Amino acid sequence: MMPKKAKAAGSRKEEGPVPCKQMKVEAAGGPSALNFESPSSLFESLISPINTETFFKEFWEQKPLLIRRDDPALATYYGSLFKLTDLKSLCSQGMYYGRDVNVCRCVSGKKKVLNKDGKAHFLQLRKDFDQKRATIQFHQPQRFKDELWRIQEKLECYFGSLVGSNVYITPAGSQGLPPHYDDVEVFILQLEGEKHWRLYHPTVPLAREYSVEAEERLGRPVHEFTLKPGDLLYFPRGTIHQADTPVGLAHSTHVTISTYQNNSWGDFLLDTISGLVFDTAKEDVELRGGIPRQLLLQVESTAVATRRLSGFLRMLADRLEGSKELLSSDMKKDFIMHRLPPYSAGDGAELSTPGGKLPRLDSVVRLQFKDHIVLTVLPDQDQSDEAQEKMVYIYHSLKNRRETHMMGNEEETESHGLRFPLSHLDALKQIWNSSAISVKDLKLTTDEEKENLVLSLWTECLIQVV
C-alpha cells in the first residue's frame, strides 16, 4: 500500500540545525507493513515514500536521508523486529560476550567495553544496562529473528551484496559509541523509544575502513535530529556519526542494517584483473617474458618498467572491451557462500529435497531461486595450474546456514553447487535467460547430455518441471 503524499518535515527547535530539505522527508501515512512480493518491492516499501530512482540518483553514496513516519501500524511492526525483552529468551539459548553481544559505553569520547567472560546472562545484562547506563549491542540478530532474516535475505537479493545487522539498546541519558564512521552503507530503523543523532561531514568519503573520530576534530554537526519508532535513516559509508538516548525518556532500540562492504569498483577490478592476466598470458608471449634483472631490488620503479606495465594495462583494457563475460574469480563465490539462505517459514525442506516431477527429455523446466544462484566460468579447481581448463561453476546459497550468517566462521562455511564442462555454457544460459524452456531445445549435442544437465540441476533444487 502506497503512503499519502510526502511532505517536508518541519524543524523542531530542540533538535538543533535543520537537515537540508532534500534530506528530510515525512510520510503523512506510511505503509502498514513491508512488501515482500519481490526484492524490489521490499526495498521500495522500506524507503517509502521516496522512490528508488530518486534514492539512487540523489542519496546513495552521496548524502544522508531521513524519513519520518507518523504511522502507528508501521511503528508497531518495527517494534516487533527486536525488543529489549527479547534478550531474556535469546540468552537462554546460549549467547556469548564478544561473539553475540557487546556491552559498552562512550566515556569522554572513547568506547569503554564492559563485557564479562563466557556466556551472557540476562540478569547481568540488565544490571549493567540499568546501573552502568551501558549500551547492549546484539550482533547479527537475523540469525534468530525470523522477520529480520526475511528482510535481509530480500535485501541481499536486491543489492547483490551481503547485508548484516546489529541491534543497539541504549538507556536514557547515555551513549554507547564514540563519534566514528563505518565502511558500509547504513540503514537505521528506529524500533523502540527515541534516539538523538548527530551527523558530520565525512573526512574520508566512501571509507573502506572503520575509524573513530576525535571530538575536537568534528566541528558542528551537519544534521541533528531525533528518531522515533517507524522512522528510517540512511547515510553513506564514511559519514561520521554519534547517537545518544535523550535524558528523561525510555530506553532506545534501533537496528542498523548495513551493506556494500568491500563492494566497490576497486574491489571488483582487483577480483577481475588476476583472471584476465592469467588468460591473456596463455596467448601473449610478451606477458610471459621475464622482467629485467634486479628489478625487484630497485628502490624506485624504472622508466622502462613503468612504460611496459602501462602498455600491458592498455592491452588488457582493449581485451576486456571485447569481452561479454563478467570475469569475477572470488567476489561471486564469496557472496553466494556467505549470504543468507532463502527465507522459509517452514522446515526448509524445499531447499534441500527436490520435489515435483523428475525432469525428462520431453519436460519443460524453469529456474527457481534465481536470486540465490551465480553462474561463473573458472579454471578447473581440480587440475594443476599447467593443465587447468575452463569449467562452468554454479554456486548457490540454498543450503547455507542462517545461524552462521556474517559471523566470520570460515571453518564452518562451505560452497554448494555444481560443475559442468564449458560446452554446457550455452545450454545453461538458455535456462537462465528463459522463463521456461523445453529440455529437448537445449544447445547440447546429445539427448543424454540434456537429460543429465537438468537432472543435476533438479537434484540441487535449482529447477522445477512446469
CATH of the domain at 147: 2.60.120.650
Distances (CA, A) of 416 to 33, 89, 151, 369, 439: 34, 32, 23, 14, 24
133 in the same domain as 77: yes
Percentage of the chain modeled with pLDDT above 90: 76
Provide mean pLDDT across the span 285-292.
94
Q: What is the reported pLDDT for 389?
A: 82
Is residue 230 packed enough to be buried (19+ CB in 10 Å), middle (13-18) or exposed (0-12)? Answer: buried
DSSP code of residue 3? P
* Residue of 81, 58, 67 whose CA lies nearest to 31: 67
DSSP string, 5-48: PPBPPPP-GGG-SPPPTTTEEEESS--SS---SSHHHHHHHHHT
Q: How confident is the model at residue 414 (pLDDT cuts 50, 70, 90)?
A: confident
Rounded Cα distance between 317 and 402, Å, is 40
* Residue of 257, 273, 393 whose CA lies nearest to 336: 393
269 in the same domain as 186: no
Tell me, yes or no, whether 21 lies in a domain.
no
Average pLDDT, rounded, for the chain: 90
Is the pLDDT at 25 greater than 60? The verdict is no
364 in the same domain as 286: no
Tell me, yes or no, whether 206 lies in a domain.
yes
- The count of domains in the chain is 3
3-state secondary structure of 60: coil
459 in the same domain as 353: yes
Tell me, yes or no, whether 5 lies in a domain.
no
- Position with higher pLDDT, 230 vs 278: 230
Q: How confident is the model at residue 14 (pLDDT cuts 50, 70, 90)?
A: very low
Rounded Cα distance between 195 and 164, Å, is 21
Is the pLDDT at 96 greater than 80? The verdict is yes
Q: Give the domain-ending residue among 227, 259, 291.
A: 259
Provide mean pLDDT across the span 33-59.
96
Which residues on neighbouring strands pair with residue 259, listed in sequence order? 163, 185
Is the pLDDT at 207 greater than 90? The verdict is yes
155 in the same domain as 140: yes
222 in the same domain as 87: yes
Tell me, yes or no, whether 31 lies in a domain.
no
- Do 364 and 438 form a contact (C-beta atoms < 8 A)? yes
Tell me, yes or no, whether 43 lies in a domain.
yes
Q: What is the reported pLDDT for 215?
A: 84
pTM beyond 0.75, yes or no:
yes
Is the pLDDT at 239 greater than 80? The verdict is yes
Most confident of the following: 124-138, 288-302, 369-383: 124-138
Percentage of the chain modeled with pLDDT above 70: 89
Is the pLDDT at 101 greater than 90? The verdict is yes
At 165, give phi and psi (nearest 5°): -155, 155
Tell me, yes or no, whether 348 lies in a domain.
yes
Tell me, yes or no, whether 12 lies in a domain.
no
151 in the same domain as 239: yes
Look-up of cell digits 566470520 = 408
- Do 454 and 365 form a contact (C-beta atoms < 8 A)? yes
Cell numbers given for 166? 546489529
Is the pLDDT at 161 greater than 80? The verdict is yes
Q: How confident is the model at residue 4 (pLDDT cuts 50, 70, 90)?
A: very low
Q: Give the domain-ending residue among 322, 351, 369.
A: 322
Is the pLDDT at 243 greater than 50? The verdict is yes
Q: What is the reported pLDDT for 278?
A: 85
Is the pLDDT at 99 greater than 50? The verdict is yes
Rounded Cα distance between 331 and 406, Å, is 15
170 in the same domain as 233: yes
CATH number, position 369: 3.90.930.40
Lowest average pLDDT, out of 10-14, 90-94, 200-204, goes to: 10-14
Q: What is the reported pLDDT for 95?
A: 97
213 in the same domain as 188: yes
Domain enclosing residue 458, as ranges? 330-405+413-465
455 in the same domain as 391: yes
- Do 270 and 212 form a contact (C-beta atoms < 8 A)? no
Look-up of cell digits 551513549 = 175
- Position with higher pLDDT, 389 vs 104: 104
Is the pLDDT at 388 greater than 70? The verdict is no
Beta-carbon contacts of residue 74 (< 8 Å; ≥ 6 apart): 30, 31, 32, 33, 230
Is the pLDDT at 366 greater than 90? The verdict is yes
CATH number, position 289: 1.10.10.1500
- Position with higher pLDDT, 350 vs 437: 437
366 in the same domain as 224: no
Is the pLDDT at 7 greater than 50? The verdict is no
Provide mean pLDDT across the span 48-74.
96
318 in the same domain as 274: yes
Is the pLDDT at 289 greater than 50? The verdict is yes
Provide mean pLDDT across the span 323-342.
86
Q: Give the domain-ending residue among 216, 239, 259.
A: 259
Rounded Cα distance between 156 and 259, Å, is 8
* Residue of 143, 145, 151, 188 whose CA lies nearest to 170: 188
Rounded Cα distance between 461 and 140, Å, is 27
Cα angle for residues 195, 199, 204 (degrees, 5° grid): 140
Is the pLDDT at 395 greater than 90? The verdict is yes
The dihedral region occupied by 9, where left means phi > 0, alpha psi between -120 and 50, and beta the remainder, is beta
Is the pLDDT at 32 greater than 70? The verdict is no
User: CA 147, 39, 373, 362 torsion: positive or negative?
Assistant: positive
Tell me, yes or no, whether 167 lies in a domain.
yes
Q: What is the reported pLDDT for 329?
A: 73
Rounded Cα distance between 104 and 112, Å, is 5
Is the pLDDT at 20 greater than 60? The verdict is no
